[in-house]
Amino acid sequence: MADITETTDPKTADPTWPKAEERRLIGQRISRLDGPAKSTGTAKYTYDLNRPGLLYARVLRCPHAHAKVTKLDMAPAESMPGVRAVRVIQGAGTEIQWALDEVAVVAAVSDDIAQDAVRAIAVEYEVLPHFVSEEQLDKAPATKPGEEKTEGDPVAAMTAAAVRVKGTYGMPVISHNCLEAHGQVCEWTGKDEMTAWCSTQALSALPPQFAERLEIPAANVRVITQYMGGGFGSKFSVDRWGIECAELARQAGAPVKLMLDRAAELTVAGDRPSAFAEIEVGATDDGTLTAWTSKSWGSGGLGSAGDPPMPYVFQIPNRRHRHTAVPTHTASSRAWRAPNHPQGCYLTMSALDDLAAKLAMDPYDLFVKNLSMTGMADVYKQELEIAEQLMGWKARWHQRGAGAPGPVQHGLGLSIHTWGGRGHRSNCEITLQPDGQVDLKMATQDLGTGTRTAVGIVCADTLGLPLEAVKVNIGDSRYPASGGSGGSTTIGGVSAATRRAALNARALLFDKAAPKLETTADQLEAVDATIRVKGSPDRKLTWKQAMALFGHTPVTATGANPGPGELTGSGVGGVQMAEVAVDVETGIVKMVKMVAVQDCGLIIDLKTAESQVYGALIMGISGALSEEKVIDPVTGRMLNVDFESYKMAGIGDVGELVVHMMTGPGFDERGPIGLGEPPMVSPGAAIANAVANAVGVRVPFLPLTPRHVLEALAKGAA
C-alpha cells in the first residue's frame, strides 16, 4: 500500500471540477456557515476583543492638509493617570502632507482616558500651502501626465465620422468607509513573539510586514482574523497604525487595541480616486463606433494612483487616450472595488449614451451593434437579452427626455463591464480524522463574501460528505498561507486549492479502500459519506469503515493553487440596467429598479454569490446618488467626516433589485471567478444614463445630487 507521501503527491494529476450532474453542494443555494454567529452577535471581530489588561490607543492627528510640526510635547499626556504608553509618530520638524495624518499616539486604561490624553498633548504647527481641488486640471500646481495611448488614426477617423459628440464628465473621490474601522489588537506573548488580531483582507501577508518593522522573526508573529467588518480594498497593509499599536503594546507590556475613529476612517483609511474626462466619440450614422479621443485626470491623493481604462470594454478601432494624475494633499488612495473600472466605465458609457441620444438610437441597440469590439460579444449578447427581459427595456424605453409629462420623470439606463479575477495563490490542508470529521486549514480570511462557506462546500462536495462534517479553520496565519482578498481573486484561489487538497485526500482513501472492495481506485466514488464502487452502490464502505483502514491515525493531504489541471479562469462580463424617477423641480433622483446580469464562471454557493451582486448594486447606487468626499479648499480638511454628511444609501433608497447569475455550459467550465469587483463597476454608469434618459440632459458629474441635477437642467435650458 502506498504511503502518505506518495499518495499526497497528486494521484489526481489532472484535477477538474465535477460535472454538473455530479455536483451535490457546489452551485446550490447554501446559507453561510457563520450566519448564526453574525446574526446572534457572537461573532467576535477585532474591535470586540477584550483581552485581559487591555489598553486603548488613540491617535493625535494633524488638522492641517500641509504643515510642519514645530512643537510636540507629550509630557502632559504621559503624566496623566491611566496613561500607560505614549509614542511620537511624526515629531517636531516633520512635514505633514495630508489632514488627519498621524502625529502621536497614546495608550491608556480606557478609551475615554486615551482621548483625554490626546487632547492634552501640546502640539504646534507651521501651516504650509496646500492643494486639494483637482476638478480643474489647468488649476493644478503639479501634474503627472501618463503616456498617450493611440490605436489606428483617431484624428482622421473623427474627421470622417458622420456623427460626433463631445462631453466632459466626472466623479469625485469617495471613501471605503468600512463599518469596522481599520485597526488591530496587539499582544506580546514573549520577548520577540506577538499575536495580532487584525481587521485585514490579507492575513497571510501581515506577519512579514509586522516582523520587518518590529525587527523580530516573521515566524514569531501570529495574525488572527476570524471576522472582519468590511475592507473593500482598503485593508491590505499592516499600516503605520498597526506598527504603532504593536510598539505601544511592547512598551506598555500589555495588549493594546487601536481602532480608527470614524473621522480618520473616512479621511485617511481609504479612497477611490476621482476621475474627470473630456471625451469625443465618433460613429457612422448607423451607430457603428469609429473614433474615440479622451483625456482624463483625477486624484488618488499624494501618491495619485488611478488610470482608468478608456474607452472601456469597447475597443473602438481608432482611439487615443491619456490620463494625467493630479497629486493633492490628501491621503493616498487605496484599491477600491474594481480599481479604475468604475471610473473608466462611467466616463465611457456616459459618452456612448450621449452618442446614442444624438443618433436618436436606443443605447441597447448601439451596444448590441458594437459588441464585436468587446472581445466577449457572446456573453454580453446573452446577458443583454436577459437584462432586457428582466427590465422590460424594449417595451418601456423612450427617447431621451421624452417621457410622460409631469414633474417626476422616469428613465432607463444601461452599462456593461468586465473584470479578470483569476484565482490567487493559496494552500489548503485537509486532515481526515478517524471519527469522520474533516479539518480544513487555510490562512485565508472571510470579508463577508462567503469564503469560509465556499471552501467548506468544495471540500464536502469533493469528499461526498455533508457540509457539517467539514470543520473549516481559516483566519489564522498559522494555517497554510493563502492570498489576500483583492481583485476578485479569492474564490478562484481558495476553491482550486481546496479542490486539489480534497481530491488528494480522497485519493488516499480510494487507495486504501480499493483492495477492500476488490477493485481499483479509479473505479471508486465518494458519495453520501460512503466510498463505493461506481455502478455498484452496494459495494461500499462507510466513511468510518474507510477511515478505520488507516488505524487510528489522521490522514493529511494538501493542495495548492496554482497546481495541476485547469481549475481557475479569468475574464467575466456583466450587464446592468437602471430605472430612476427624477423630480425635475427638486432634482431628487430615486431608484426605481436595478437589474444585474452577471457571469462569474462556476458558482460555488449561489446564495452568497447573489448576495455579492446585490451588495455591489447597493454600494454602487450609494456612490452614484450621494457619496462624495467634500474637501474644504480653504482648510484642506474633509468636511463630511460622519454618517450624517458622508451620505450612504439606506434600505429605503435602493429601489427594487433583480439579480440574475449566468450559469451552466459556457460559464461553468472556467471554474470559479470572483464577484467582489465586476458587479461594482456599472452602477454609476447605468444610473447616470437613466437620469439623462429621464430628464433629457446629461448630468455630467456624480454624485447625482439635486444640485448636480438642477445645474444640468438649468444649463440644458439655457
Of 507, 534, 502, 353, the residue nearest 428 (C-alpha): 502
Binders of other proteins in range 46-75 (CB under 8 A): 47-48, 50, 56, 58-61, 63-64
Shortest reach from residue 593's CB to other proteins, in Å = 12
- Interface with other proteins includes 346 (CB under 8 A)? no
- Cell readout for 51 is 483581552
Shortest reach from residue 258's CB to other proteins, in Å = 13
Residue from 79, 110, 399, 545 touching other proteins (CB under 8 A): that is 110
Q: Which amino acid is at 136?
A: Q
Part of the chain binding other proteins (CB under 8 A), chosen from 179-187, 269-277, 667-675, 706-714: 179-187
- Cell readout for 38 is 453574525
Straight-line distance from the first to the last Cα atom of the chain, in angstroms, rounded to the nearest whole number: 86
Binders of other proteins in range 501-520 (CB under 8 A): none
Shortest reach from residue 247's CB to other proteins, in Å = 20
Binding-site size, other proteins (CB under 8 A): 85
Residue from 95, 112, 285, 585 touching other proteins (CB under 8 A): that is 112
- Interface with other proteins includes 31 (CB under 8 A)? yes
Can you say whether the dihedral through the CA atoms of 590, 600, 311, 393 is positive or negative?
negative
Binders of other proteins in range 282-311 (CB under 8 A): none
Q: Which is nearer to other proteins, 5 or 39 (CB)?
A: 39
- Interface with other proteins includes 118 (CB under 8 A)? yes
Binders of other proteins in range 125-144 (CB under 8 A): 125
Kindly give the pairing relationship between strand 193-198 and strand 221-224: parallel
Binders of other proteins in range 561-620 (CB under 8 A): 590, 607-608, 610-612, 614-619
Q: Is there a contact between 160 and 168 (Cβ–Cβ < 8 Å)?
A: no
Of 675, 533, 679, the residue nearest 600 (C-alpha): 675
Q: Which is nearer to other proteins, 653 or 711 (CB)?
A: 653
- Burial of 368 from C-beta contacts in 10 A (0-12 / 13-18 / 19+): middle
CA 283, CA 158: separation in Å to the nearest integer? 8
Q: Which is nearer to other proteins, 620 or 700 (CB)?
A: 620
**What angle, 0 to 180 degrees and rounded to 10, lies between the N-to-C axes of helices 683-695 and 706-717?**
40
Residue from 1, 13, 651, 718 touching other proteins (CB under 8 A): that is 651
DSSP 8-class letter at 468: G
Shortest reach from residue 594's CB to other proteins, in Å = 10
Q: Which is nearer to other proteins, 549 or 657 (CB)?
A: 657
- DSSP H or E segment with residue 210: helix 206-214
Shortest reach from residue 548's CB to other proteins, in Å = 31
- Burial of 717 from C-beta contacts in 10 A (0-12 / 13-18 / 19+): exposed
Binders of other proteins in range 216-235 (CB under 8 A): 227-230, 232
Q: Provide φ and ψ at 426, rounded to 5°.
A: -160, 155
Residue from 2, 43, 137, 548 touching other proteins (CB under 8 A): that is 43
CA 241, CA 251: separation in Å to the nearest integer? 15
- Interface with other proteins includes 495 (CB under 8 A)? no
Q: Which is nearer to other proteins, 366 or 491 (CB)?
A: 491
Q: Is there a contact between 259 and 286 (Cβ–Cβ < 8 Å)?
A: no
Q: Is there a contact between 241 and 259 (Cβ–Cβ < 8 Å)?
A: no
Of 190, 225, 230, the residue nearest 207 (C-alpha): 225
- Interface with other proteins includes 78 (CB under 8 A)? no
Q: Which is nearer to other proteins, 15 or 620 (CB)?
A: 620
- Interface with other proteins includes 634 (CB under 8 A)? no
Binders of other proteins in range 402-461 (CB under 8 A): 447-450
- Interface with other proteins includes 650 (CB under 8 A)? yes
- Interface with other proteins includes 107 (CB under 8 A)? no
- Interface with other proteins includes 263 (CB under 8 A)? yes
